[in-house]
Amino acid sequence: MSSIDWKGLPFGYFKTDYNVRCYYIDGKWGELEVSDSEYITMHMAATCLHYGQEAFEGMKAFTGKDGKVRIFRLDENGKRMNRSAVGLMMPEVPAELFRKAILKAVKMNIKYVPPYGEGASLYVRPLLIGTGAQVGVKPAKEYMFMVFVGPVGPYFKEGFNPVKMQIVRDYDRAAPLGTGSIKVGGNYAASLRASERAHDEGYASCIFLDAKEKKYIDEAGPANFFGIKNNTYITPDSVSILPSITNMSLRTIAEEIGMKVERRHVPVEELETFEECGACGTAAVISPICKIVDRDSGKVYQYCKDGHVGPISEKLYNRLKGIQEGIEEDKYGWITFVE
């Protein structure tokens, strides 16, 4: 569509033509339906509204250099949505239904998939919500699964350029045995105050520490954290972080290019020893971090000193982006073509 300014797109909501929906009633999923409405009607006592019984996902579709549209790691997103479903006592979405819904939503809005080379993509947002009425704290009996899509620009306005982050201790995103490892809206509600404050104080995002001891790095806002030193890719292992599919993919690529990979606790003091640091997630793939400031002690950790992105982050980024855009071989079967 020539009227869309692809290069100027924010990472935000964009109205497209259709979305798809499916209802779970009487213990089973119905047929996939197509809607042109941006609204959903539901019971005012729906569990998603009162008790947070909802989960979502996020993935992207890209136009490759060859003009074909590719979706990145669709099935992994489906698996993660089902882990969220189990965690929140919601019915799982069968893998086949998940796949069909995503492909249908993308195909019906194919004109909104940004062309190759514009730095934009089509964001795909699956959503699973408890729609049945309950007043006591109980799982609903009825659910809705839907998928909407929209073209987006980069999440961080800096794009693949270094960002500044802030370590916080006065807010936690998720409790150690809570819902941090699943994609429920409540985790994001819990992160809003700290994130907005970080923005106001001039940072792209805040870094949350483990809620129990406040010793280890958990997550970099809505992204996982990684550090690089001695040819090793190091990323936090924590029960309260969302297992990022981008991070999972970067670990595979790191091994492929001959690096060691460690998933373990990452103490805050270790920040001093990293050669490169980054945040990773669907939105930006990698946001290299140039500076981390500890909000309590004022301590500053500096990376990519002359403003340049570290060579390993760049290599990892290019390989992953290359697979997403069909420039590099997809030897792991991460891509689903939209035909």
Ligand X SMILES: Cc1ncc(COP(=O)(O)O)c(C=O)c1O
> Which among 153-161, 241-249, 310-318, 320-328 is the span making contact with ligand X, rule CB under 6 A?
241-249
Residue 244 binds to ligand X (criterion: CB under 6 A) = yes
68 is catalytic: no
CB 303 within 8 A of CB 162: yes
Taking residues 57 to 76 in sequence order and writing x for each that binds ligand X by CB under 6 A, - otherwise, the string is -x------------------
Greatest distance between any 2 Cα atoms in the chain: 61
The site for ligand X, by CB under 6 A, has a size of 12
- The one-letter code for the residue type at 145 is F
Q: How far is the CB of 81 from ligand X (least distance, A)?
A: 11
* Cα separation, 73 vs 126, whole angstroms: 14
Taking residues 210 to 239 in sequence order and writing x for each that binds ligand X by CB under 6 A, - otherwise, the string is ---------x--xxx---------------
Q: How far is the CB of 247 from ligand X (least distance, A)?
A: 6
Catalytic residue of the set 183, 215, 260, 315: 183
Indicate the Cα dihedral angle 279, 285, 288, 289, nearest 10°: -20
- Residue 28's CB: how many other CB atoms inside 10 A? 8
* Cα separation, 224 vs 235, whole angstroms: 8
Helices (H), the chain: 47-50, 74-87, 95-108, 185-200, 245-256, 311-324
Residues of the chain by 3-state class (helix, strand, coil), percent to 5 = 25, 30, 45
Q: How far is the CB of 229 from ligand X (least distance, A)?
A: 22
CB nearer to ligand X: give 140 or 253: 253
Residue 242 binds to ligand X (criterion: CB under 6 A) = yes
Query: Between helices 245-256 and 74-87, what is the axis angle to 10°?
Result: 130
Residue 150 binds to ligand X (criterion: CB under 6 A) = no
Q: How far is the CB of 128 from ligand X (least distance, A)?
A: 15
Q: How far is the CB of 58 from ligand X (least distance, A)?
A: 5
Residue 282 binds to ligand X (criterion: CB under 6 A) = yes
> Which among 37-45, 85-93, 240-248, 327-335 is the span making contact with ligand X, rule CB under 6 A?
240-248
* Cα separation, 234 vs 261, whole angstroms: 6
Binding site for ligand X (CB under 6 A): 58, 219, 222-224, 242, 244-247, 281-282
Q: Which residues does the annotation mark as catalytic?
A: 183
